[in-house]
Amino acid sequence: MPVREVSRVHDRARSERRIPQRLAAELSRPDESVPKEMTFTENVSPRGLRLTTMQRWQPGTRVVLTFPQNGIRSEGRIVYCQRVESGNFALGLELPWQVQRWQMLW
């Protein structure tokens, strides 16, 4: 995906209302080529969420996100990956869920 397109998607996502929400989640690749990582969300929006991870991920990568507390699982795409002060990375994930599905997480 061209950098320009990633930036445009990232900017659009930021303009949406974000709800601070800390939820336990498991992040992995659909092909299971990397180990699953337990992590937490920082916030959610109608199109996706932001979470922290210990490893760097490439924008455009397809991922699987599972919420163990209720078994909700969805495939999504990494929109951005930024290093944060802790040395970890913040990921923006675009998920193909409808807004109503977020309510099932709370």
CATH number at residue 79: 2.40.10.220
Distances (CA, A) of 91 to 27, 29, 41: 11, 14, 9
Range of the domain at 55: 3-105
> How many separate domains does the chain show?
1
> CA 44, CA 46: separation in Å to the nearest integer?
7
- Per-residue confidence of the chain (106 residues) as pLDDT tens digits? 333 334 344 444 456 688 898 999 999 999 988 889 999 999 988 888 999 999 999 999 999 999 998 888 889 999 999 999 999 999 999 988 654 565 555 5
Q: Give the model's pLDDT for residue 18.
A: 81
Angle CA(70)–CA(76)–CA(79) in degrees, nearest 5? Answer: 130
pLDDT of residue 64: 93
pTM: 0.75
